[in-house]
Structure 1
Amino acid sequence: MSKWTEIRDGMVSALDVSDVVESAKDQLITDLTGDGMDALSTVADKFITQVQVQAESEQGWCMVRDKFVLPLMINGILWAVKLVLAKSTPATATQPEAPTGDSQQ
């Protein structure tokens, strides 16, 4: 066996993704929900603003596309991604703890 094959096999076994821990998945979802979506929303807002400005010089279908269709589609996709990420967040992070009822004074 060549050295390259040994290195490749070693890298593949080191990067075995079947051992991804739950905390890593939860952290990824949390990061995507927070900073990731904020960054995507900022980029989408700038793109939508530029497209709508360009729509003023368009006519017919291109004007409708730039003024209404693209902004609605982009905002709809972002909404769907946010919804999926919100549903994917860990239950402990999204649900407050229930009161125990032992706090009688």
Structure 2
Amino acid sequence: MSKWVEIRDSVEEALKAKEVGQDMKLKFTNWLADEGTRMLEKAADNIVEECKSDASSEKGWCKVRDVVVIPATLNIGLTVLKVVLEKAAAEKL
């Protein structure tokens, strides 16, 4: 077995949650709502910016993909995630 497989397996084993409690779910939801969404927004902004800059050299459906489909999908997905997290935080899990 390679060293990488051993490391991967040990990390997976350490991350197994035998019992996921309310506290852990609350902490994860709060982290995702604060730091997680900020990271995702930055990544989405970079992807959208890159797609829009590439769109000038694209034609047809590829241009539509770069100008409309990818940016809309990322923005709608992030908006839905934020709404779900806000609702979950309001219910206090």
Aligned twin of 1:68: 68
Q: Name the SS for the 1:66 alignment partner.
A: helix
Q: Where does structure 1 lack aligned partners over 5 or more consecutive residues?
A: 1-10, 93-105
Where do 4+ consecutive residues of structure 1 move more than 4 Å?
none
Tell me whether 22-31 or 82-91 shows the greater mean CA deviation.
82-91
Measured in 2, the distance between the counterparts of 1:24 and 1:46 equals: 31
Which digits, 9 at most, give the CA deviation of each residue in 1:74-101, with x for residues without a partner?
1001111111111111546xxxxxxxxx
Measured in 2, the distance between the counterparts of 1:42 and 1:86 equals: 19
Distance 1:21 1:52, change over 3 A: same
TM-score (norm 2): 0.75
Aligned twin of 1:16: 18
TM-score (norm 1): 0.67
Q: How does 1:1-105 map to 2 (within 5 A)?
A: 15-17=17-19, 20-91=20-91
> What is the identity percentage for the equivalent residue pairs of Structure 1 and Structure 2?
31
Measured in 2, the distance between the counterparts of 1:26 and 1:45 equals: 27
Q: Where does structure 2 lack aligned partners over 5 or more consecutive residues?
A: 1-12
Q: Which has the higher helix share?
A: 2
Identify which of structures 1 and 2 has the higher relative contact order when contacts are C-alpha pairs closer than 8 Å and 6+ apart.
Answer: 2
Given that residues 48 and 70 in structure 1 are in contact (C-alpha distance below 8 angstroms), is that contact kept between their aligned partners in structure 2?
yes
Given that residues 52 and 67 in structure 1 are in contact (C-alpha distance below 8 angstroms), is that contact kept between their aligned partners in structure 2?
yes
Measured in 2, the distance between the counterparts of 1:59 and 1:81 equals: 32
Q: Which amino acid aligns with 1:38?
A: R
Which has more radius of gyration? 1
